[in-house]
Amino acid sequence: MDEDILQDFLVEATELVDQLNEQLVDLEQSPSDRDLLNAVFRGFHTVKGGAGFLGITPLIEVCHRAENVFDKIRNGDIEYDAAAADVILRAFDVINDSINKLNEGSRDLPENDPSLLAELDALTKGALMEVPEPAEATASSEPVLQLEEGLDPDGDITDEEFEALLNQRDLMLEDADFAQEAPSSAPNVPELKLDEGLDPDGEISDDEFEALLNQRDMLEMAAMESAPEPAVEPIVEAKPAAPSPKPQPVPTSSEASGGVKAPAKNAAESTVRVDTKRLDEIMNLVGELVLVRNRLLTLRSSQGNNEDLSNAVANLDHVTTDLQSSVMKTRMQPVKKVFGRFPRVVRDLARKLGKEIELELRGEETDLDKNLVEALADPLVHLVRNSVDHGIEMPEDRVKAAKPRKGTVILAAEQEGDHILLSITDDGKGMDPDVLRRKAVEKGLMDELTANQLDDKAAFELIMSAGFSTAEQISDISGRGVGMDVVKSMITKLNGSIDIHSVLGEGTRMSIRVPLTLAILPTLMVSFEEDNYAIPLTSVQEIFDFEPDKTNKIDGQMMVRLREKSIPLYFLAEWLRPDRVKDSYEDDKVVIVSIGNQKVGLVVEQVNGQEEVVIKPLGVMLKKVSGYAGATITGNGSIALILDLPGVIQRFQY
């Protein structure tokens, strides 16, 4: 294989497979949608064409058979019902796995499962159309579809060529029928000739074949404008002299003639594929520029009324901000990249559980950083599976509860300032906080007294505990108590948070808030004398003065009372400056931060304000030191350590 061509193919094939994943599930809901049918057919055909050029036989075999099935569906010979969808989706999984293996570097794909190929063939042969042989057609009424002698009719002609020729024949048949009803001295249509110099095995390229079709159209037009007597032997003597519309080109798999394809070509030329490593390098350089900008802004404030310097720094600030925004946009991808997989996930899971579920996707065009798109995939899968399995009831139970038989799961995304809000909402049975409290006691997570003191919101958050499950039976879908605690851990690592709201009998909503990007981090700068530290701003809830009279100790842990709730207090100076003796904390500040579903108060000496920082890794030697996410250079040129809040809390608790 030519590696460059293979990589181009894999980029296109990966995009097509992502589209097919969603289209196939949509088609099951709207099997008569012609546009959707054609889109699916083209998807399989395009992947097959690229695989054929590279000689990837296993991929060709499956795509070819799937394409045949959809050709039959388009012609009305087969219905795309649930049984047909099961077979096609199995074939799609094989194609998807093959593309993934090729992307991972494998160049030898395994042979296809013969049973799958047999099922696809059986599906195709379920209702074959009986098309008359060309030799049986009469010269007076039906045209003969002729292939040039140089092209072996039993040879390896591509499906696209054959489909185009069949379409040409059908158009000729229609014209012949019309000519019988209203005979006239119509000009004759010249024969479409395929060049004798072409490979006798039928390996004609799409562009060559389309050019021949366009050539035929031009000949037809010329024949219509000339004398009624044909200059060459015609295939069909049919077409009324007038009025006659301009002959339309035979549609190809791209559904475009030469004139229509030009804009697509221009659009393609305006797009350049860039390796993400290069984008990361550019982002790193922009990050360095942001640090220099911050330094200059600090210096400007110390230079008094130097108007020229102020104007230059102001311009640099403006340009740097725009550049930073533009570079970040190049890394942005629509959240649809993640959402596209869920129609299939919900469809398969609902079918397995015997439930009827409709998935609604909202805000698919919301953009977020590419790294976040990839990092959110697994947590969202867990949450969606949880809604389908635990949330939505069986159809009979929903009817008894005066609900529609079909449940609804809504997966939504929207931008809130410098955050993305993702939510998974279902109209299922909701969660019973009393059941959750009882399960927590049964699992040994807490004693009965502690469980009974939990409010409903805290009870809902119990499902994020490791080993917690409400399933009565263990299955391959759920019941082992793994999944939701993994979700909490993943979201926390992304500096995000999860919020759960549920109403018994009405449904549940799980909301995830994550920053737009992980590359440049808004922080709250705090300090202890000369040492600076950065706290991720996404986790900061509020700041207030430390007042000793509002604190008390519970089981040895210092707590602060905030709006009728007790929140644990951690004195950062005790960890960051253990060698220093501090007499009083009266002038300190309390920064309330949210870590996952937990709120704690961090006591700091001074709050210096907000600052955007570029995260720099600490290096291999310090990689395993908990409590630090990295380092950065502040506006005054000093180094500040960025705190990893989950690690900080862990240091205090253990």
CATH number of the domain that residue 622 is part of: 2.40.50.180
Tell me which of 49-58, 271-280, 479-488 is least confident: 479-488
Can you tell me the distance from the alpha carbon of 518 to that of 490, in angstroms, rounded to the nearest whole number? 14
Residues 548 and 486 grouped into a single domain: no
Report the C-alpha dihedral over residues 341, 346, 352, 353, rounded to 10 degrees.
Answer: 160
Task: Tell me whether residue 619 is exposed, middle or buried, using C-beta atoms within 10 angstroms of its C-beta: 0 to 12, 13 to 18, 19 or more.
Answer: exposed
pLDDT at 426: 93
Structure tokens given for 6: 């293979």
Structure tokens given for 543: 């700041």
**Which tens digits make up the pLDDT trace of 89-148?**
999 999 989 888 888 888 788 888 888 888 888 888 864 333 334 344 333 333 444 444
Question: 479 pLDDT band (50/70/90 cuts)?
Answer: very low
**Which tens digits make up the pLDDT trace of 599-651?**
899 999 889 888 878 777 777 777 677 788 888 877 777 788 888 888 888 77
pLDDT at 397: 92
Contacts of 21 (CB under 8 A, 6+ apart): 92, 96, 340, 341, 343, 344
Residue at a domain's end among 78, 112, 142: 142
Range of the domain at 314: 276-330
The answer to whether residue 105 sits within a structural domain is yes
pLDDT at 645: 84
Residues 309 and 358 grouped into a single domain: no
Q: Which pTM was predicted?
A: 0.59
Question: 240 pLDDT band (50/70/90 cuts)?
Answer: very low
Q: Are strands 639-643 and 531-536 parallel, antiparallel or unpaired?
A: parallel
Question: 241 pLDDT band (50/70/90 cuts)?
Answer: very low
The answer to whether residue 121 sits within a structural domain is yes
- 17 near 48, Cβ under 8 Å? no
Q: Is pLDDT at 411 greater than 50 in this prediction?
A: yes
For the chain, percent of residues with pLDDT exceeding 70: 73
**Which tens digits make up the pLDDT trace of 145-160?**
444 433 444 445 555 5
Residues 475 and 341 grouped into a single domain: yes
The count of domains in the chain is 4
As a whole number, mean pLDDT of residues 331-346 equals: 84
Catalytic residue among 45, 68, 597, 612: 45
Can you tell me the distance from the alpha carbon of 393 to that of 390, in angstroms, rounded to the nearest whole number? 8
How many CB atoms lie under 10 A from the CB of residue 125? Answer: 12
Of residues 372 and 133, more confidence is placed in: 372
DSSP symbols for 532-594: EEEEEGGGEEEEEE--GGGEEEETTEEEEEETTEEEEEEEHHHHH-TT------TT-EEEEEE
pLDDT at 455: 84
pLDDT at 577: 75
Of residues 104 and 361, more confidence is placed in: 361
Structure tokens given for 568: 């644990």
Task: Tell me whether residue 398 is exposed, middle or buried, using C-beta atoms within 10 angstroms of its C-beta: 0 to 12, 13 to 18, 19 or more.
Answer: buried
Q: Up-side HSE of residue 339: CA atoms within 13 Å toward CB?
A: 23
Can you tell me the distance from the alpha carbon of 481 to that of 444, in angstroms, rounded to the nearest whole number? 13
Task: Tell me whether residue 489 is exposed, middle or buried, using C-beta atoms within 10 angstroms of its C-beta: 0 to 12, 13 to 18, 19 or more.
Answer: middle
Structure tokens given for 165: 């020729």
CATH number of the domain that residue 36 is part of: 1.20.120.160
pLDDT at 612: 79
CATH number of the domain that residue 315 is part of: 1.10.287
Q: Is pLDDT at 509 greater than 80 in this prediction?
A: yes
Residues 407 and 502 grouped into a single domain: yes
Catalytic residue among 61, 67, 393, 611: 67
Vertex 214 angle, CA 209 and 217, to 5° = 130
The answer to whether residue 233 sits within a structural domain is no
pLDDT at 575: 83
Residues 411 and 546 grouped into a single domain: no
Question: 29 pLDDT band (50/70/90 cuts)?
Answer: confident
Q: Are strands 407-416 and 419-426 parallel, antiparallel or unpaired?
A: antiparallel
**Which tens digits make up the pLDDT trace of 180-238?**
444 443 444 444 444 444 444 445 555 555 555 555 555 544 444 443 433 333 333 33
**Which tens digits make up the pLDDT trace of 558-567?**
888 888 788 8
Q: Which is nearest to 598 in space by CA: 652, 641, 549, 521?
A: 652
Of residues 170 and 284, more confidence is placed in: 284
Q: Up-side HSE of residue 103: CA atoms within 13 Å toward CB?
A: 14
The answer to whether residue 288 sits within a structural domain is yes
In DSSP terms, 318 is beta-bridged to: none
Residues 511 and 524 grouped into a single domain: no
Question: 161 pLDDT band (50/70/90 cuts)?
Answer: low
Q: Is pLDDT at 419 greater than 70 in this prediction?
A: yes
Residue at a domain's end among 498, 515, 532: 515
The answer to whether residue 214 sits within a structural domain is no
Residues 488 and 543 grouped into a single domain: no
Vertex 498 angle, CA 482 and 563, to 5° = 125
Residues 537 and 627 grouped into a single domain: yes
pLDDT at 412: 93
Q: Is pLDDT at 265 greater than 50 in this prediction?
A: no
Residue given tokens 């074939």 in the structure block: 91
Residues 345 and 365 grouped into a single domain: yes
Can you tell me the distance from the alpha carbon of 341 to that of 19, in angstroms, rounded to the nearest whole number? 9
Residues 26 and 125 grouped into a single domain: yes
Buried b (16+ CB within 10 A) or exposed e, 84-116: bbebbbebbebbbebbeebeeeeeebeebeeeb
Tell me which of 18-32, 248-262, 604-618 is least confident: 248-262
What's the whole-number average pLDDT of the chain? 75
Fill in the amino acid letter for 628.
Y
Residue at a domain's end among 142, 171, 193: 142
Q: Which is nearest to 551 in space by CA: 561, 542, 543?
A: 561
Element (H, E) at 436: helix 433-442
Q: Which is nearest to 325 in space by CA: 418, 413, 415?
A: 418
Fill in the amino acid letter for 491.
I
- Ranges 43-52, 119-128, 166-175, most confident: 43-52
Assign 253 to helix, strand or coil: coil
As a whole number, mean pLDDT of residues 449-461 equals: 85
266 as an active site residue: the answer is: no
45 as an active site residue: the answer is: yes
Q: Which is nearest to 580 in space by CA: 568, 571, 570?
A: 571
As a whole number, mean pLDDT of residues 383-391 equals: 90
419 as an active site residue: the answer is: no
Sheet holding 551-554, edge to edge: 540-545, 589-595, 598-604, 565-571, 557-562, 551-554
- 428 near 407, Cβ under 8 Å? yes
pLDDT at 586: 77
Tell me which of 221-235, 385-399, 407-421, 432-446 is least confident: 221-235
Q: Is pLDDT at 394 greater than 90 in this prediction?
A: yes
Of residues 62 and 476, more confidence is placed in: 62
The answer to whether residue 269 sits within a structural domain is no
As a whole number, mean pLDDT of residues 53-65 equals: 88
The answer to whether residue 9 sits within a structural domain is yes
Residues 65 and 120 grouped into a single domain: yes
Structure tokens given for 98: 């093959």
The answer to whether residue 241 sits within a structural domain is no
Catalytic residue among 68, 386, 532, 597: 386
Can you tell me the distance from the alpha carbon of 168 to that of 175, in angstroms, rounded to the nearest whole number? 11
In DSSP terms, 535 is beta-bridged to: 524
Residues 479 and 585 grouped into a single domain: no
Where would I find the beta strands (DSSP E) of 348-418? Answer: 357-362, 367-369, 407-416
Region of 583 please: left (phi>0), alpha (psi -120 to 50) or beta. Answer: alpha
**118-124 long-range Cβ contacts below 8 angstroms, 24+ apart:** 119/87, 119/90, 120/62, 120/65, 120/66, 120/68, 120/69, 120/87, 120/91, 121/65, 123/69, 123/72, 123/78, 123/84, 123/87, 124/65, 124/68, 124/69, 124/72, 124/78
Can you tell me the distance from the alpha carbon of 516 to that of 496, in angstroms, rounded to the nearest whole number? 10
Instruction: Say whether the peptide bond before residue 243 is cis (omega within 30 degrees of 0).
Output: yes
